[in-house]
Structure 1
Amino acid sequence: MLSIGEFSKICKVSTKTLRYYDEIGLIHPKDINPENGYRYYSIRQLKEMLLINRLKSYHFSLEEIKTILDTDEDQAEEKLIFSLQRKRQEVQAKIHAYEYTLTQMNQDMLRAEKGKSMMSWLDDIEVELSETQPINILYIRQTLSSDDYALGYEKHFSRLYERIAVDKLTLLGTPMTIYHSPEYNPAGNDTEFAIPIEETVRGTRVLRAGLCAKSVLKGPYAELTSVYAKLREWVEDEDYELAQSPYEVYVTNHQQAVVPENIVTEVYFPIRKKRGNCHAKKRLANCRPGSLGHRRRKTV
C-alpha cells in the first residue's frame, strides 16, 4: 500500500487534487484509516492514475474521463478506442485551425510590409446578385445560446437526417441554417436548421424565392463574420435593404474537410431595393433572369 503522499509523488498529482478526485468519484483510495483518516492507495492504482493523467494530457475533461473509467469491463476497450478517435479528430481540427491562423497572420504581415491596410483582405470577398428559387425545407427551429451552437448544429442536423432516412424522404440539397434573431444575443438566438427535400410533409415549409446578395466562403466558419460584414456593407452601398432573414448553405461537410480551407459555405442575404428609389428599381430590373446584369447560380 502507498500513502497518499507517496502516491502523489510518484504520479505527480497533488494530495489536494487526489482528494478532489475522490469527491467526484474519479479514483478512490483503496483504504482510509478510520482512526486518523490517512488515505492509502494500492500499487495497482498507479496504472489507473497514470491513465487519468494520460487522458488529461489528451485534453479530455474530468467528466469525460470518469465516463470512460465507469464503462463496464467488457466494453471498456471499445469505449476507450471510440473516445480516443473522437478526441483525435478534435485535436486535429485545432491543429488545422492554428495552421490557418498562422497563414492569416503571414498574409496580414505581407500586406503590412507592402504598405497595405491590414483590413484590405475584406476587398477580396466577392459579392454577387443571385435570384433564388423556392425551396421546400424540413426544419427545426430552436433558440440556442452561443455555447450551444457547436453541439446544436450536430444534434439538430442529425435529427433531420434521421427523419429523412426513416420516412424515406427525397433529399434535394445540403444543410442550411437561417438566422431569425434581429440582433446577436449570447444568451440565445432564434436559429432554424433546415435541409431541402422534395416532399411536403409535417415539419416542412417553403423558403421563398427572391433576390439575394451572395458570397462564398472557402475557409473555417470563424471567417463568416467577415463575410456578413462585407455583405451588409455591399447591401447598403448598392441601395438595397434586407427582405428576409439571412441564411447559410453548407456546401461541404466540415467533418469531412481535411483542412479548414476546404470548407465551403454560401451566405445569402435576401434583399430588395429601397422603396421610392426610381434608379434603384431600374437596377433591380436589370438583375432579373435573362438580363445582362443577372448572374446565374446553380439551384441549392
Structure 2
Amino acid sequence: MFKIGDFSKLSKISIRMLRHYDEIGLLTPTHINKVNGYRYYSANQLSTTNRIHALKDMGFSLSSIKEILTEYNDRESLIRYLNIHYSQVREHLEDTQKKLLKIETTMERIGRTDIMKNYDVTIKDFAPKYMMTLRKTIPTYQDEGMLWHQLFSETKGHNVQVDVPNYSKAVFYDVGYKENYVDVEIQLAVSGNYKDTENVKFRTVPSVTAATAIVKGNFNQLTDACEAIGNWISDNNYDVDGPMFNIYHIGPGQDSNSDNWVTEVCFPVRKK
C-alpha cells in the first residue's frame, strides 16, 4: 500500500483533492490507521484514478463521476451513458458555434456606419415567368439546399431548358419568422412546356411589385437588407403584400465563393 503522499504522486492528484474525494465518497483509502489517521491506498486504485482523470477531461462533474463509477461499471452500460453525454456535448458545441457566428455577424454590423446607405432600396415590377417549382417544409432555412437537390434530381430525365441568364428564387410562405419547419418554395425560370413530376410543378408565376435590395456576399447580410427594406416601406407609406422572396442572381449553385454571391431580397408591397 502507498501513503497518501506517494499515491498523490503516482495518481497525479493532489493530497487536498484526495482528501476531498474521500469526503464525497468518490475515492476512499483502502486503509486508515486508527492511531495516527494516516491514509493508505492500494495499487489497484490507480486504475480508478485514471478513469477519474479521463471522465473529468470529458467534462463530467465529480458527482456524475461518482455515479458512473458506482452504477455504470460494466462496459455496455458505460457506453450507453457516454453516448448520451456525447450527444449533449455535441448539441452544446453546435449551440456555441451558432452563438460565435452571431457574435461575428454583430461585430461586422457594428463596423458599418449606416445600414440604409449600404442598401439602395428600389421598387420593381416583376413580370410573369414560367417556372419549375418545388414547395416543401424543411427543417431550417439553412436546409434550402435540400430542395434544390431534389428539384434537379426529380427533373434529371426531362431535358428541362433553364433560362439564361439564370433566374432562381426562394419564396418564404410562413406568416412570421420561424426557427424550424419552414414553408419554402424554390422556383427556377425555364423555357418550354413540361409535365409535372411527383413534387415538381411547372407553372406561370404571376407578376408582382416588390421593394428590393441587392446583397453582395454571404447570406449573413440578409438581415441588414431586410431592416433597410422595412425602414423604406415604413418611410414611403407602403404595406407588405405577400410572402417575401430571394432572387439568387449568383448563388452557391453558380459559385462556391460566398464573396461573389449576389442576392436580391424582395418584399411584395402595395401603396397604403
The secondary structure found in structure 2 opposite 1:197 is strand
Tell me: CA distance 1:265–1:17, structure 2 relative to 1, closer, same or farther (3 Å).
farther
Q: Give aligned-pair identity as a percent.
A: 18
The secondary structure found in structure 2 opposite 1:206 is strand
1:44: which partner in 2?
A: none
1:22 aligns with 2:79: yes
Contact 1:160–1:195 (CA under 8 A) maintained in structure 2? no
Question: 1:214-272, CA deviations, whole angstroms, 9 ceiling, x for partnerless residues?
Answer: 2101133232222223223323433333343221012233474435x433211122333
Question: 1:26-61, CA deviations, whole angstroms, 9 ceiling, x for partnerless residues?
Answer: 6xxxxxxxxxxxxxxxxxxxxxxxxxx9xx9xxx94
Return the letter of the residue paired with 1:22: I
1:150 aligns with 2:106: no
1:123 aligns with 2:167: no
2:242: which partner in 1?
A: 244
Contact 2:123–2:212 (CA under 8 A) maintained in structure 1? yes
Correspondent of 2:159 among 159, 165, 168: 168
Correspondent of 1:159 among 145, 150, 166: 150
TM-score by length of 1: 0.53
Contact 1:252–1:265 (CA under 8 A) maintained in structure 2? yes
Tell me the matched-pair count. 203
1:139: which partner in 2?
A: 133
Contact 1:143–1:190 (CA under 8 A) maintained in structure 2? yes
2:185: which partner in 1?
A: 192
For residues 210 and 239 of structure 1, the distance between their equivalents in structure 2, rounded to whole angstroms, comes to 18
Contact 1:143–1:189 (CA under 8 A) maintained in structure 2? yes
Aligned pairs for 1:254-269 (under 5 A) are 254=252, 256-259=255-258, 261-269=259-267
Tell me: CA distance 1:166–1:133, structure 2 relative to 1, closer, same or farther (3 Å).
same
Contact 2:141–2:182 (CA under 8 A) maintained in structure 1? no
Query: Higher Cα Rg: structure 1 or 2?
Result: 2
Tell me: CA distance 1:3–1:154, structure 2 relative to 1, closer, same or farther (3 Å).
farther
The secondary structure found in structure 2 opposite 1:183 is coil
1:201 aligns with 2:195: yes
Contact 2:140–2:182 (CA under 8 A) maintained in structure 1? no
The secondary structure found in structure 2 opposite 1:158 is helix
For residues 266 and 184 of structure 1, the distance between their equivalents in structure 2, rounded to whole angstroms, comes to 19
The secondary structure found in structure 2 opposite 1:229 is helix
Could you tell me how far 1:210 is from its partner in structure 2?
Answer: 3.4
The secondary structure found in structure 1 opposite 2:162 is coil
Tell me: CA distance 1:208–1:170, structure 2 relative to 1, closer, same or farther (3 Å).
same
**Residue segments in structure 1 that go unaligned for 5+ positions in a row:** 27-52, 63-90, 112-119, 275-300
TM-score by length of 2: 0.57
Could you tell me how far 1:170 is from its partner in structure 2?
Answer: 1.5
1:6: which partner in 2?
A: 50
The secondary structure found in structure 2 opposite 1:235 is helix
Could you tell me how far 1:160 is from its partner in structure 2?
Answer: 0.5
